[in-house]
Amino acid sequence: MPHYLTFALVAPLASFGAIAVGERRSGWDRPGRSAVLGLVGACLGLEREDDAAQAALAEDYALALLCHAPGRLLADYHTAQVPSAQRGRRFATRAAELATKDLNTILSRRDYRSDAWHLGALWPRGAVPRWSLEELAAAMQRPSFVPYMGRKSCPLGLPLAPAIAEAADAPTALAARHEAGAETAFRDRWLNTRPGAPKDPLIVTLDSADAVDIAADDPRRLRTELRRDQPRSRRRWQFDLREELVLQLAAP
- CATH at residue 148: 3.30.70.2660
- Please report whether residue 199 resides in a domain: yes
Domain count, the chain: 1
- Band the pLDDT of 104: cuts 50, 70, 90: confident
- Please report whether residue 94 resides in a domain: no
With beta carbons less than 8 A apart as the criterion, state whether 122 and 63 touch: yes
- Please report whether residue 103 resides in a domain: no
- Please report whether residue 81 resides in a domain: no
Residue 251 has pLDDT above 80, yes or no: no
Residue 41 has pLDDT above 70, yes or no: yes
The reported pLDDT for the residue numbered 134 is 97
- Please report whether residue 42 resides in a domain: yes
- Span 138-148, mean pLDDT? 97
- Please report whether residue 63 resides in a domain: yes
Query: How is residue 241 annotated by DSSP?
Result: E
Residue 145 has pLDDT above 90, yes or no: yes
Q: Report pLDDT digits (tens) over 48-74.
A: 999 999 999 999 999 999 999 999 999
Phi-psi region of 98 (alpha: psi -120 to 50; beta: other; left: phi over 0): alpha
With beta carbons less than 8 A apart as the criterion, state whether 131 and 44 touch: yes
Cα gap 76→203, rounded to integer Å: 27
Cα gap 43→45, rounded to integer Å: 5
- Band the pLDDT of 109: cuts 50, 70, 90: confident
The reported pLDDT for the residue numbered 22 is 66
Residue 11 has pLDDT above 80, yes or no: yes
Q: Which domain holds residue 176?
A: 3-73+114-249
Q: Report pLDDT digits (tens) over 176-207.
A: 999 999 999 999 888 887 766 667 789 999 99
- Please report whether residue 100 resides in a domain: no
- Span 149-168, mean pLDDT? 95
Cα gap 6→73, rounded to integer Å: 26
Query: How is residue 234 annotated by DSSP?
Result: T
The reported pLDDT for the residue numbered 197 is 65
Residue 173 has pLDDT above 80, yes or no: yes
Residue 240 has pLDDT above 80, yes or no: yes
- Please report whether residue 83 resides in a domain: no
